[in-house]
Amino acid sequence: MCAPMAVATRRSRDADEGKDMTLTITKAVFREMLVVARKAAPLEACGLLAGTGERATKCYALTNIDASPEHFSMKPEEQFAAVKDMRQAGLKMIAIWHSHPATPPRMSAEDLRLAFTPDVAYVILSLAAAPPEMGAYTVRDAAPHRVDVIVADKTE
Ligand SMILES: [Zn+2]
């Protein structure tokens, strides 16, 4: 039995309903997320990712008004401004992201409870391990479904 451990490209097993996706994040966007997350630590950082298709090419870092190490709320004015900026740039919102400064990149009960936005991925950047890890999910019926996320500048 051969089980290749290509975690980043493995299809998630539970994504058998609805739309399956592979989220691609450009290296520049990933670097920006890391900088923002490290700067915010030990508090959670949060923001939005925008792009086209399933490819995130722009990172918006927003203020976490909860100023908490365990949960986040995006500042509404900044969120509206970011969405407006995306529209003007011809981009769509692909993901809502936040950091987990000290825990793995899994959705917490609180994250799930507050995952109201349809048709976006929820991306968590964890600083708990080195190198940092990302987890991406879509939420359907209040359950997280893992989606693949890769950091790459080119699509295959
Ligand atoms: Zn979280």
Q: Is residue 1 part of a domain?
A: no
Distance of CA 156 from the midpoint of ligand 1 (Å)? 30
Q: What is the pLDDT of residues 59-91, one digit of tens each?
A: 999 999 999 999 999 999 999 999 999 999 999
Indicate the number of domains in the chain: 1
pLDDT in the model for residue 155:
58
Q: What is the pTM of this model?
A: 0.86
What is the C-alpha separation between 10 and 22, in angstroms, rounded? 9
- Boundaries of domain holding 49: 19-151
Distance of CA 110 from the midpoint of ligand 1 (Å)? 7
Q: Is residue 93 part of a domain?
A: yes
Q: What is the pLDDT of residues 120-137, one digit of tens each?
A: 999 999 999 999 999 999
**CATH at 106:** 3.40.140.10
Q: Is residue 39 part of a domain?
A: yes
Distance of CA 145 from the midpoint of ligand 1 (Å)? 15
